[in-house]
Each structure stands twice: as C-alpha cells, then as structure tokens.
Structure 1
Amino acid sequence: MTRAGSQRTLLSLVAVMLAVLTALGIGPGPGTRIAAAEPTGTGSGQPSRPEFLKLSLDSVTPTAITATSDPYFVVSGTVTNIGDRPVDDISVRVQRGAAVTSPSGLRSTLRLDQINYDVNGEFQDVTDGLTPGQRKQFSLTVALHSGTDLPSGISSIDITSPGVYPLLLNVNGKPAYGGQARLDDARFLLPVLGVPGGADPKHPAAQPGTPAVDAPPVATTMLWPLADRPRLVAGRPGSPDGEAELTDDDLAASLAQGGRLDQLLSALESVLKPDSGRDRTLVNAICLAVDPDLLLTVSDMTKDYLVLASPSDPEGPTRAGTGTHAAKAWLDRLRALAPGMCTVALPFAQVDPAALAATGDVTLADRALNAPADLIDNLLSVKSVRGVAIPDAGTVDSDGATLFAHHGFTTTVLADNAVAGPDGPANLTSTKSPAAPGGTPDPGTPDMVNLADVTVPPAAGATPPPASATLHAATFDIWAATALAAIGSNPPTPPFTPDKVRYDVTNDSRAARLQDALGAIAWTSLNPQPGRSRSALLMPPQQWGANRDEATQVLGQLDLLLRNGLATARTFTDLLAQQPDPQPYELDYLGAAADEAVPSHFAEPVHQQAQRITELMSALVDVPQQELSPRAFLTPLRDDLIRVLSLSDRWAGTAAADTNAQRRLDQTTKTMDNLYGSVTVLPPGGVYTLASEQSPLLLVARNDLPVAIRVRFKIDAPAETNITDIGEQQLPAKGNRSFQIPTEVSDSRNLVIPIALTTPDGVALGNAVSVSVRSNAYGQVLAIITACACALLLLLVGRRLWHRFRGQSDPADEGFDPGTRQSRRARKREQKRQEAR
C-alpha cells in the first residue's frame, strides 16, 4: 500500500472512532485537538482561511501547454507554517477538475470544493516538519497523461484534449495535538492549447500546423492601458515660469526602472524591438490606450517640480521632486514606441461619464472627452484613433452615453454584460456546461451592438439624424477582463464582475492569478460556441498593476495563440469599423458601478466653478506680447474640476476618494475666488473734490492677473449726479490703468458713489468701493437765487418800459427833479475846485 493510501485508511479509522465516541457522549479530553480537513472553497464561493499551513503557487512551467511542448510541466510553490504549533509530515499533490466549458466557469470553478477536482495525483513529500514561521519551497513534475513507464515521483493528471483545466494543489500535514488532514490548497488554471505526445504511445506527437480546434481562429484585439491616478495639486492656474506641484512623488517611482509604468512600457518594447524575434502580427492586435492626464503630469515632471510634504495639506510646505530624469526617459521611450502602433486616448483622468453629464457643462465635457485625442497627438506625435469613448468602469448610464453621442463619439467600449438585447440581459453567471442536460449556455454578446436608445438629437430646425448617428458599443469579454484585472499587486474586482462570482482575489498568489488570466485569454480560442462569434476584445483595467514579467507573459500567451493558429490579429480600427448586430440593444447600467460612482452632490459645485471659469475666460484678452494665453492660464483649473469627477481612486474605497475630491474642489473654488478678486478698483483716499460741477471723476483700476482683461465700470450714480458710461475697457496684465469718467454733479454736498468692475457680460470682479465726492459748485441753491434775481430784473425793466410806452412817468421817479439833480452835480464840482486851491 502506498503512503497516501495508508494515510486515507488512518483518517477513515479516526473518523469512525470519533463518531462512536460522540454517540456514547465521550469526547476528546481537555487540551486534545483533532485537526479536521479544512476546505478552502465552499459552494458559496467564499474561501475559508487556513489555520496551520499556507500554500501559495510560485510558478507553472510552461504556463501553457502546446502540441510541441514536453508532456510534462513543473509546478513550484511554497508552504508556510502560519499557525502556533509545529506541523509534521507535510506532503503535496496535484488534483484536476473537468475542463472549463462555459466562460463563467473561468471564475466559478476556482471556488468549487476540492471534491470537484476528482483526478488526483500522488502525494509527494515536502518536508518532515515546519515550526511556526518556517517555510519550505517545493516543485512537482506532473505528466499530462499516463504513460507506460512514468518516472518515479511523477503523477499524471490525464489530460487528453485541448482545453482550460482547473488544477488544485492540496497540502496535507499533521499539526501538533491533531491528526493528518488537508490544511490548505491553491487553485489555478492551466491552458492546454494542444496535447503533446511522446510520453504515451496512445498520444503521438502532433504534426506542426495541425489546428487544436476545428474552428476558425479568434479575431483578437487587446488594449494596453497606460494611466495613473491624478497627481497634480489642485488650484494652480497656468504660469509661464511656475513649477508644477504634485501631491506626492509616487509617480516618480512608477516611471523609474522597476516601477509599474516602466514595466508596462518595457513589456511592450520587448514585443516591438527588432531583436524580439516576433513579426508585426502581434503588434497589429494591440492598441495603446493612454490617459492624457498622465502625459500632462509626466510632461510637467520633465522640468523642475515640487511635491507636497503632506498630501493632505495642499497649502503646506513643499520639497523638490526627484523624478525629472525618470520622467524624461519614460516619455522619450513612449514617444519612440507610440508612432509604430495603434494609439487611442482614454477619457481625461478616468472621469466618470455619469457625473460629467450631471454637471451639464458643455465646455468641461469637451475638455474631458474631445481634448484628450489632441493632447495625445501633440505630446506623442501620433494620429490617435478618434470617435471612440472608453469609460473606466466598462459600463455607462444613459446620460453618460448621450453625452458621448453629443460630443461626436460614434462608439463606446463596454463590458458585454453592460448591454441588454431584446431578450434582456445575458445570463453571464451560469456555471453549467452548455452541453449538460438542463444547462443554460452563456448566450454571449456580439462584438458590436447598436444602442438604439442613444442617438444624437437633431439641431434646432434640422432634420432627424440618420441611423448611423446612433451610438454603437464594442463589447469586451468580462471573464477575461476580470482575470486580467486580478494580475499584479492590490488588484481590484471590476464593477462588471457578477456578484455571484466576486471574491477577494488577494487570497491567491500572483502566480496563480497570472495563470487564471492566461487561461481566460485562451478559453475562447479553445471552445467554439454555437451562436457566438469567434472574436475577443481583451481589456485590462486602465490602472493595470501587472509587472514586466506578468505583462510579458500575457503578450506571450497572445503570441502563442497567434502562432498556433488559434487566433488572428485584428486591429482596433477594424473592430470599430464592423457593422453592429442588426438587433437593437439597450444600456444596462451595472449596480456595482453605480455604487462606486462619483456621488451626485459633486455635480452642482463643479458646474458652478466651471461656469465661473468660462465667464472669466470670455473676459480675458490674448495679447501677442503676452507670455501666457488665457487658455493656458485657466485650463489647468478646468482640469482640476475633471479630476474631482475621477473614478481612479474609487476602487480602493469611497471614503478616501470623496475626501480627495472635496479637497480638489475646495482648492479650485478658493483659487477662482482669488482670481476674480485680483481685478478691482483702487479706493481713493479721503473725499474726492471736483473742481467744478462738470469735472471728470478720476479712477484707477488694477489687474493682478498675468493676462489682460476686458472690464466695464458699474457705477450706481445717485440722483444728483450724471456719470457717463465709458463702455468696455482693457486692463494690461499685472498693471494699473487710470480712467477719467465724465461726471456732472448738481449738489455741493458730499455724495457717496458705489463703483465696481465687471466683465463685459456683467460678472462682478473684485470688491466694490465707495467714493465720496464733493463739488465746488453751489448747486441747486445757486440756481434758484440766480433765477429769482433774473426774474426780478425782468419785472422792473418791463414795468419801466410799460410806463414809458404809455407816456407816463414811472412811480419810482415821483419827487425827483431833474434840474435839482443837475445843480447838485454843479455844486460838487465847484467844491472840488475850491478845495484844490
């Protein structure tokens, strides 16, 4: 009897004895513990945590089996004692389940209990024992199928046909105070593209060029994302000589050698290098998807830049950034790579289309959706693919889709369960085989569907748009996308992953998650399905965490499918050019995406600040001699508002994402307040005295902005004054200007005149001032006195003339003798002559 058989017999005897003792009311004594088998998977799909040993998969060599491979593969792993007691007699074996026959099985079979892995290899000793904290690495050589004389220590898992097979590593041990039991396991997928011969005369070696599947190759396209979360500090308008400020310097590490973005780019370079040994076939299947916000940030980092000492204190101290060299090198490499392959722009900063639509700001949406293609083209010197929107969540609501259509997009890229056909949403969670009795096959979704409920509304007075204006959706396989998202460190579970198969993938090792992704990539090629198109769009998450080795393995798997005739390269533009399925489809906005979306309370304040930016932009003047244009000055603030609506931080938790979004919004609002307050009227000191009632009012306006601006004076003149509106005026950048305002004052009292500046559209600028004005004119009293005197004079003259015309003497002349008047004058002359003597 083998050692494994003896162990199974011993465990059976122990179970029988425990049952008898329990029936008699007798149990183990105090301090005695019998270790029971602990399955790591349950029917609910929720794994239980190991208590004594932790088993992790380190590698599978080769990662995929082909018809020309050796008939053996090697599985390496590590066993770690995570308990509080020693574990003895540790052994491992490999078990196999049935080949995955439905796409949902790529996820669900990995959560099945170990009893479903019914093809068992032999136990192989790992070590005699491990004390707490100790670990031991091991390797198992496994034969694909049994031969006449397998070498000692090699088990067979009896694979005789191509497919994607779930495998399980089972570790047994004997904890102190307990018996031998299964203490942990590790699951992974093994893609078998072809069955090699050589180990068994019944399985001769396959002939070169023999297809593994009697079906056309799968037309395959893959997007290769380069994106990062927003890093620029909010509330910093453009400046001709200012340094960029980043919240942290993590991006420098990501761009440097060994960083995430460096490794993703390195994996692509390994494919495109002339010495890579690959032709252009693989390159044609890949399209580089780039976030323009990342490129803007990296471009800013190529010059001197600053980093906040504390990311939570945007106005706190800063330090010099350390990533200038890494940013230059990475950007140069990308500029050399991008022109040789397909390139497409992602929405700015992974903006949430639903939240963007809720703001109702057309200019903001244009910057988030349409500007990215131009940014990518300018920064990388390429001609990117146009007319396609790629939302980060893989799903979009009707408002977001309508926003795409309004901004000229003809296609969006969505998960295949984010659309619903005439018969309702697809049954994407079935775990039954399509061929099994009573099983419901996964119906699948066409590559390109017509979203009949999303059309471009006609302009006023125009005829309705043609049918081609209806938005189309290119769909990607959620199972492959879910598996690709699990690659790397801290992987997210995408919102399009069905609830029934959601679990914490970090319980599996990185090597196991990589194997699952390689299996998911190959599944469609190996499993022709009636009624399903032979095509695949592979979509990793936009902030993909794969390292260089993992990314290279993914590219290698795709290349392996191409070279074995299981796939054919399809360019992204060819996919977009396909005619949609004739049946109408509707959007099916996924609940998980709605839960992780940007909260609705951000929409209104973002809208308000976006309007303020637009209003200020319309007042600024682009002067040729000016270093900074109005667009370059204000666009960074508009970008900050888009970053408020980003989905990039929300997969890690909504609390931190809401905090970051609110901080960005507050900083942008504060900056806009300061900008509007930088253009104002300087208050004159004391009382302003006019030299006359028509003297001009002298005012000085100041513009502290680095760009020129058009203004108007808003003067609330009191009734005693008449102030002329001098119309629209221009203030120079960073300068003052004096103005003479024609003014008429009809009162000598002190008058208070409120004066403010506005944009030509009437939006208030700066703070209003009150000018005290006093005129040297007598004003209304003088006018009344003068009028009365004139009236009296006219009355006296008229009376005299009236009497003269009638030949009468004026009553005022009564008692006056003309001769007496003359003699009086003669006496005075005579008196003066005598005095002179």
Structure 2
Amino acid sequence: MKRIATLVAIIVVLLVGPVTGAALAAPRQPAPSAVAGALTLVLDELAPRVVTASGPTVLTVTGTLTNTGDETVTDIGVRLQRGQPLTSEGAVRDALEGGAPTDSIAPQFQELPDALDVGDRVPVRLTVPLSGAPESTLALAATGVYELLVNVNGVPGEGDRARLAAVRMLLPVVGLPDLDGADAVSTPPAAATPFSLLYPVVDVPRRLTTAPGEPVRLTDDTLADSFAPTGRLGGLVAALAEAAPAGSPVRTATCVVTDADLLQTAQAMSQGYVVPGADGSLVPGRGAEVAGAWLASFAEAARGMCVLALPFADADVVALTRGELETSAVGAVTAGRGLVADLLGTPVLPDTAWPADGVVDEAGLATYAEGGVRSLVLSADGLDLPAQAESAGTVPVATTGPATTAVVADPLVTLAAGGPISVATTVAGRGGAAAAAAAGGPLSGQDVLGTVAFRAVEDAPTGGPLVIAPPHRWNVDGVAARALLDGFGTLVDEGLLTARGLGSALATPTSTTERTLDYPIGAGAREVAPNAVAAIGPVLDDIGDLDSSVVDDELGVDPDDLFDPLVLGAVRPASAAWRGTPELATDAAAALADRVTELRGTVAVLEPPSPFSLGTSTSPLLLTVANGLPVTMRVRVEISSTSGLRVAPIPVVEVPPFGRRQIQASAEVQRSGVFTVDATVRTIDGGLLGAPSRLQVRSTAYGTITLWLTGTAGVLLVVLAARRILRRIRSEPGRNTPRPPRPGSPETIPDTAETALPADLRGPPPTSTPPPAPEDRTLPAPPRPLPASNGPIPAGPTTGRNRPGPSGPSGPAGPPVRRPDVPGHVPVPPGTGAPLQGRPPLRPPGAR
C-alpha cells in the first residue's frame, strides 16, 4: 500500500511540475480558530520595519505565545525564517496569500525553557542578525522585499513535534549595514516614485436615529474605548499628528478620509449620550469626555491637510442606486462634504469621491454626478484597462454624463492592506496555520509597507503617482499607523518615494484615452444586502408622512432640524461597512425602522385610568392627545364605532410640542352596557401614528331604540286597560236599576227581638228609614250589667223598656238609637220590650 501511494505522488509531481511542488510546500487553507494543541502567536514589534544601510544590524521580533488548545505543549521552539526576494507582482500576491515558500533560509530553533499548559502564555523575543551564516542569521545578501515567517514548533500532548503557530509578513530591504562587498547594495532608482496616501479615519455606524430634545442613543459603547488615546481611532489621530507633522513630505502626500456620521456622533457624544445596558435599559455612556477631546484633536491634526469626505455614513451609492434610492444617495454625498468641512473646520476636496472598494457601475456613476462629483478614486480593477497599461495615473472615464476623471489606485497595495488573505499549512492535522501580520495589531501595516517598497524598487509605475488606498475600514491601530507613516518617511529619505498630493494628481491627467467602467462580479456579491436596502424605502415614507402633519410655527424647533437628520440617517443600513455581512445590514435596517416607529408612537391618545361613564344617550367623551415630538402636530383623531355606540367625526386638532391637548368627541349610545372602542391618531395624509388606545365606555342611559320600545309598551298597556274597562261596562245591563239585597245583608235579616214579644208589647212598626250602613250591622252583644240596687231605674237612653211609649210624655217614638260606645250593641226599635239582661224580668201585679 505504501508503494502505491508513493508511486501516485511521484506521478502527480511529474505531471504538474515544479509549481505544484511549491504549492505543496505551503497549501492554502483556512486557519482554524481553535484546534487541539494549537498555539497562538501575536507579534507586538518588528524592528526595523525597513532595513537600511544606516539602520540596525539585527532584526528583533517580540510577541506573546498563548496555548489556546486543550493539551499541554512541550519542547517548544521558535525561529525566524525567510524566502527569496519577491521579483514579480504574482510572487507578491502569492506571499500575501500565504502561498510563497519561506524556507530558503531557516536558522535553528530557539528553544523555550518551559512547557506551556492550557491557557498559559509566555513572552517571545527573537533577535536574529541580518547577515551571516544561514544557520544563525537571515543571511541577507541583496536588497528587495522578502517574506518572513515566525515559526513555532512544539509537541502537543502525546503527539509528534509539529508547527503549532506561525505569523508571516513582508520585510522591505533597501540597504544592508556593514555588508562585505559594495556590489551587494542595489542602486536606488533614477527617479523616486510619486505616491499619494489615503488615510481613512472611519468606523461602522453606531448612532441610532433620535429627535431633537432626546438623548443621543448609540448601539453600544465601543467608541468610548476607540476614541481614547490608546484606542484605535484615538491612535490614528495621534499617529497622524506625530508622524506627519506640518511641512513633512508624508503630510503632503497624505489625504485624510473620514465620514461625517462619525464626526457628528463624536460631537453629540460630548454632550452626553445613552447606550443599552446589560438588562436592556438605557444607561449613560462613559465616553463623553474622550469623544470631545478626540474631535478637537482630529480637527487640529487635519487642519491644512488634504481632506476627502465620504458619503454620510459611508453609504454604498451603488447599492442605494440599485434599490431606486438615488435621492437618498445624492443627499448622502452632498451632505457628507458639507458636514465634514464644518466639523473639522477645514476645506475638503471639491467634487471628489471614493466609492466603496474603489469600484462603481454606470448607474452609480450617474448618481455621483448628480451629487456634483467630477473626480473619483477608483481601483485599477474597476476600470477596463489593457493588460499592458500601467495601474496608475489619472484617466478620463467614459460616461454619458458630465466629464469625469479617475485617479487609479494600486489594487496590489489595497490587497496588502485588506487583512489576512489566507494562511499557510497545518501539520499533522493540528494547528500551525500561518496568520498574516495584517490581521490586526501593531504589525498590521507591515505588508502595506513591503508592497509599496516593492513597487518603488522592482515595479515602479510610470504613468502617474502610486495611490495607496487601503479599505475604508482598514485594520490598523495607532501603533501600526505610526510605524507605517514612519516607514513611508524612511522610503522618502532613501530616495524611493516622493510626495504627490491627491489633489495634484487629480488635476494632472496622465492619459487622454477614456476608460470604461468595469464593475467586478465579486464587488456585486459584496454589496449591501438588497433586503436591507429595500427596508429603507418604507422608513422614508413614514418620515415623509410624519412631515405632512407638522405645523411650521414659532413653537418648538425648526422642522428641518427634526426631519433632515431623520432622512439623512436613513442611509445607515446601506453603509459600506456592511458589505459582505448581510446579517449586520439587516440588523441595522431593523433598528432604523424600530426607532422611526418609536418616534411616531409618541403621538397618541392617552388611555384613561378608568372607563368613561355616560348618563345620557348623547354624552361627550373627553380624550387627551399627547405629542412627544418637538414640533406642533396637526393630526386627526378617530374613534371606532361599535354596535350600540356611535361616535361623530372629530375635527382636526393641533397638539403643541412636547404637550397635550384635550378634545371632546360626541358619542351617541343606542343601548346601555359596556363598550370597547379603539382611539387612533393619524397624520393629515392618513398614516397611523401611535398605537391604537383601547377605551372602555360604560352607559346607563336609554338609547333611542330603548325609549321607543318603552313608549310603545306604555301605549299598548293603556290601550289594553281601556279595552278591559269598556268590556266590563258593556257586560253589566241595567246598571241604573236598584239591585236586590244580597243574602245575609241587614235588609234580609228579620228582627227576632221584636217578633218575639207579645203583640201588646210590640211598638209601632218602624218608620220607613234607610237601612243602616254595612258597618253598623254588628252582632248582638250582651247588654251592660245594671246596678245592683233595686231602686227605681234611672232615666237612661230611650231604648228598650225604659223608653216611654208613643203616647208618653216624651213624645212620639223616634228611630232606633245606636250606641257606638257599646260593643256589639244592636239598636232596638221603639216599643220593643226586650228583657233586660243581668236582672230578672218584672212580674205583673199579683203574680207570684
């Protein structure tokens, strides 16, 4: 089996040739972020950055080695090795991509004394002579640009010795100190190469849309650290002031590139701002002081320099144009120039733009032209240049619009400044990937310096200046920027470079042949995500709808102070910072939409603390409309009707800035009960502002239907009662004739007391008198007891036996006398001889 594998490998080498052999020595593959047994090497310093005849004789590299794997590493050795001088652009590209061989000179390893446990770190310092024996030095014998490799080997756990970490970089050698033999030092070129440097001071957009009067809101507090003197942005400004002082060639060649959104954010932060806290609530930011100091130092460092303004928020004009947002793109371009000039207090390059990635299509070029742009900084990859043409100079651009020129930036230098391109090999399935020094940190500008030196020494452009255009957000901190500017100064001192300002380069065309635009396919794939750009349109519609209801009066702020920042800030989701990262662009678009919705939501009907009570069928509803914006708003308030409750339309109402307005709505209820309705506030154009407010209405009044039903029932009741009475009247015939006495009435009861007496004792028949009332007919009651004396009976009432007869002196007999004071008394007609109770009856004379 081994023989077959060996035979196959030999055949592959013979068929492909020696180029494949070099590729096998360093295959290109991604670097694993964390591999078992891997070590991580971070370099802090390389001295010298440019080897010169008058410089040090040794090369010193310092850094830190950390065990980021899961095994203890023993038998660790570190060495500095190099490859052959790079003599072609292809060789430089291979070196930047990690594909060039670096084992031409490989001195012995310098062993570290101790093992490295998981998570431990150890400082690394290598000092290697530049010339001498290859076993212990770099053995440099000629000038040129070399690729260096810091190689770390070790034994992870129980495995075999392998490369566990590596960092590669370019080293420009323009002279050798103390070199035996004068012919070893190359003669400087006959003419120095003019160069222009674009120096970006740019960051990703972090500010969220706010209204005047609101605290400035940021997505995070990263800028508080970045603006500090030790931070990235603070270091870039400090390096510019220190390494490019006034009057220096480097300052002449440097053009500062910045973004108005970043400067505005720093200015706003200096007045106080808020950021989301750990629990999601807004907390005060901690960078107010450093933000103000950074902006002041930046304005001081850039005063009198060449300044190039990016579109506001570094908006991707091509993506906005493709999303049919040309107006927003033009506004970003024009506003960017004016704001940068105002905030830095220095003029900016007029009519000049630098598109994202240095490329633009024809539609984007038309948008730039509409924004007043007549000069562009374009990559050579963005123009249709012949293969033999120099990748430098200022050329006219073929366009149907206004005449436009383009200064050509070197794409090889841009590639060198773009960060880690790829990596070297991984040994035995473990770590060992070679990271580029451009991955960040103090050595992140070393590849740019090496590439510029290669252009100046080996492949100097003849058509125009060498334009160094790193990415807008190049991964360089203050230390790396200072070293890069110092390195350019060294190349100027060595006669390899000469300063040429960007404005001068734009004003001096090197060709009269028009070049057409060439928008690379890869650039189109890296554009801002289309869904993020598409989300900007509805937000702009919401802002315009809000603007339609603003009253331009003396109250509050100027409406332009509110809406101009809103419209301008709407391009942040289309920032070139999100190229290649669609998820970040989508998040930015969602954050923008949420903030505008939140601002619109500050105009709404306040929900009352308790339900409305209506006592009548046409009671009014008192509503309160709140306005959280700093301008007077003219709005429409609508209350939805429901079954049983109808609300009349409400006239347009004006609400003062940051104020409230109470309005009255006429409501008509058609029945009693509890109703739930929604109250909404809309703009004059009909757009919904705040969220609908839920209102509860409790009615105890009778509505129209209820009253109608009640009245109908009352009328019906009266009709039915009258009908019944009439029927009763009609059913009683002869109701005017005397009615016969009812059985048992006093008229039908015989007077037993009278008939029981003898005829001679009976009185005269009763006179015709009306019968007593029913209430006088009472049952007979026992008579009152008489006194016990047998004397003469005193005169009493004219009743019974003691009443004189009809011929007596007392006169004729009268009607029976009723004794109402005697219970149960029954009147006796005169002449009735009823015996007295309580004593024996009188005997006639002679009776025994």
**Per-residue CA distance 1:56-81 (angstroms, 9 max, x = gap):** 655432111234335x3314356959
Specify the alignment match of 2:631 in structure 1.
707
Specify the alignment match of 2:211 in structure 1.
238
Aligned partner of 1:109 among 91, 95, 101:
95
Given the superposition, is the C-alpha separation of residues 523 and 402 from structure 1 closer, same or farther in structure 2, using an over 3 Å criterion?
A: same
Q: 1:189 aligned to 2:170?
A: yes
Query: Partners in 1 of 2:76 and 2:546 — Cα distance?
Result: 76
Query: Partners in 2 of 1:243 and 1:42 — Cα distance?
Result: 58
Structure 2, unaligned stretches of length 5 or more? Answer: 7-20, 423-432, 641-648, 672-677, 696-848
Q: 1:451 aligned to 2:397?
A: yes
- Determine if contact 2:550/2:559 at 8 Å carries over to the other structure: yes
Query: Partners in 2 of 1:654 and 1:226 — Cα distance?
Result: 23
Given the superposition, is the C-alpha separation of residues 137 and 116 from structure 1 closer, same or farther in structure 2, using an over 3 Å criterion?
A: closer
Q: 1:76 aligned to 2:61?
A: yes
- Determine if contact 2:394/2:406 at 8 Å carries over to the other structure: yes
Residue identity opposite 1:447 in structure 2: G
Aligned partner of 2:406 among 464, 473, 496:
473
Residue identity opposite 2:29 in structure 1: Q
Specify the alignment match of 2:256 in structure 1.
288
Query: Partners in 2 of 1:223 and 1:151 — Cα distance?
Result: 39
1:203, distance to aligned residue in structure 2 (A): 4.2
Aligned partner of 1:165 among 146, 153, 160:
146
Query: Partners in 2 of 1:420 and 1:633 — Cα distance?
Result: 44
Aligned partner of 1:524 among 445, 451, 455:
455
Once the two structures are overlaid, the 10-residue window that deviates more, 638-647 or 132-141, is 132-141
How many residue pairs are counted as aligned between the two chains? 657
1:492, distance to aligned residue in structure 2 (A): 8.4
Specify the alignment match of 1:3 in structure 2.
none
TM-score (norm 1): 0.66
- Determine if contact 1:359/1:606 at 8 Å carries over to the other structure: no
Query: Partners in 2 of 1:511 and 1:332 — Cα distance?
Result: 25
Q: 1:199 aligned to 2:129?
A: no
Residue identity opposite 1:661 in structure 2: A
- Determine if contact 1:641/1:668 at 8 Å carries over to the other structure: no
**Per-residue CA distance 1:734-776 (angstroms, 9 max, x = gap):** 56789999xxxxxxx99xxx99997677767788999xxxxxx
Q: Secondary structure in 2 aligned to 1:420? A: coil
Aligned partner of 2:189 among 204, 210, 213:
213
- The 5-angstrom pairing of residues 510-659 of structure 1 reads 510=441, 513-528=444-459, 532-579=462-509, 581-624=511-554, 626=556, 628-650=557-579, 653-655=581-583, 657-659=584-586
**Per-residue CA distance 1:421-458 (angstroms, 9 max, x = gap):** 3x5xx6xxxxxxxxxxxxxx7x54343333324x43xx
Given the superposition, is the C-alpha separation of residues 678 and 552 from structure 1 closer, same or farther in structure 2, using an over 3 Å criterion?
A: farther
Specify the alignment match of 2:224 in structure 1.
252
Once the two structures are overlaid, the 10-residue window that deviates more, 245-254 or 123-132, is 123-132
Query: Partners in 2 of 1:519 and 1:638 — Cα distance?
Result: 43
Residue identity opposite 1:306 in structure 2: V
- Determine if contact 2:154/2:162 at 8 Å carries over to the other structure: yes
Query: Partners in 1 of 2:509 and 2:682 — Cα distance?
Result: 53
- Determine if contact 1:45/1:108 at 8 Å carries over to the other structure: no
Query: Partners in 2 of 1:538 and 1:228 — Cα distance?
Result: 19
Structure 1, unaligned stretches of length 5 or more? Answer: 1-17, 24-37, 427-440, 457-468, 494-501, 691-697, 717-724, 742-748, 771-837
1:89, distance to aligned residue in structure 2 (A): 8.7
Q: 1:46 aligned to 2:68?
A: no
Query: Partners in 2 of 1:22 and 1:295 — Cα distance?
Result: 62
Residue identity opposite 2:417 in structure 1: L
1:356, distance to aligned residue in structure 2 (A): 1.7
Q: Secondary structure in 2 aligned to 1:521? A: helix
Q: Secondary structure in 2 aligned to 1:267? A: helix
- Determine if contact 2:77/2:110 at 8 Å carries over to the other structure: yes
Q: Secondary structure in 2 aligned to 1:188? A: strand
Q: 1:412 aligned to 2:380?
A: no
Q: Secondary structure in 2 aligned to 1:198? A: coil
1:279, distance to aligned residue in structure 2 (A): 3.2
Query: Partners in 1 of 2:443 and 2:210 — Cα distance?
Result: 47
1:715, distance to aligned residue in structure 2 (A): 14
1:478, distance to aligned residue in structure 2 (A): 1.9
Query: Partners in 2 of 1:665 and 1:85 — Cα distance?
Result: 48
1:334, distance to aligned residue in structure 2 (A): 1.6
Residue identity opposite 2:632 in structure 1: A
Residue identity opposite 2:171 in structure 1: L
Once the two structures are overlaid, the 10-residue window that deviates more, 520-529 or 326-335, is 520-529
Given the superposition, is the C-alpha separation of residues 375 and 69 from structure 1 closer, same or farther in structure 2, using an over 3 Å criterion?
A: same
Specify the alignment match of 2:52 in structure 1.
66
**Per-residue CA distance 1:568-608 (angstroms, 9 max, x = gap):** 21222222323373333333333333333222223343112
Specify the alignment match of 2:841 in structure 1.
none
Specify the alignment match of 2:806 in structure 1.
none
Given the superposition, is the C-alpha separation of residues 679 and 354 from structure 1 closer, same or farther in structure 2, using an over 3 Å criterion?
A: farther
Aligned partner of 1:137 among 106, 120, 124:
124
TM-score (norm 2): 0.65
**Per-residue CA distance 1:208-230 (angstroms, 9 max, x = gap):** xxx6112x322211122122222
Greater Cα radius of gyration, structure 1 or 2: 2
- Determine if contact 1:81/1:130 at 8 Å carries over to the other structure: no
Once the two structures are overlaid, the 10-residue window that deviates more, 631-640 or 173-182, is 173-182
Query: Partners in 2 of 1:89 and 1:410 — Cα distance?
Result: 58
Identity fraction in percent: 26
Q: Secondary structure in 2 aligned to 1:393? A: helix
Query: Partners in 2 of 1:91 and 1:673 — Cα distance?
Result: 62
Compute the RMSD of aligned alpha carbons. 5.2
Specify the alignment match of 1:266 in structure 2.
238
1:554, distance to aligned residue in structure 2 (A): 0.7
Residue identity opposite 2:398 in structure 1: A
Q: 1:733 aligned to 2:666?
A: no
Specify the alignment match of 2:837 in structure 1.
none
- Determine if contact 1:413/1:476 at 8 Å carries over to the other structure: yes
Residue identity opposite 1:218 in structure 2: T
Q: Secondary structure in 1 aligned to 2:300? A: helix
Q: Secondary structure in 1 aligned to 2:356? A: coil
**Per-residue CA distance 1:22-63 (angstroms, 9 max, x = gap):** 99xxxxxxxxxxxxxx99975653377796777765543211
**Per-residue CA distance 1:166-211 (angstroms, 9 max, x = gap):** 2345566788988887776543222122x346331444889xxxx6
- Determine if contact 1:361/1:607 at 8 Å carries over to the other structure: yes
- Determine if contact 2:81/2:151 at 8 Å carries over to the other structure: yes
Query: Partners in 2 of 1:508 and 1:237 — Cα distance?
Result: 35
Query: Partners in 1 of 2:602 and 2:152 — Cα distance?
Result: 66
Specify the alignment match of 2:341 in structure 1.
377
- Determine if contact 1:197/1:203 at 8 Å carries over to the other structure: no
Residue identity opposite 1:596 in structure 2: R
1:556, distance to aligned residue in structure 2 (A): 0.8
Q: Secondary structure in 2 aligned to 1:587? A: coil
Residue identity opposite 1:477 in structure 2: D
Specify the alignment match of 2:317 in structure 1.
353
Task: Say which structure, 1 or 2, has more relative contact order (CA 8 Å, 6+ apart).
Answer: 1
Specify the alignment match of 2:776 in structure 1.
none
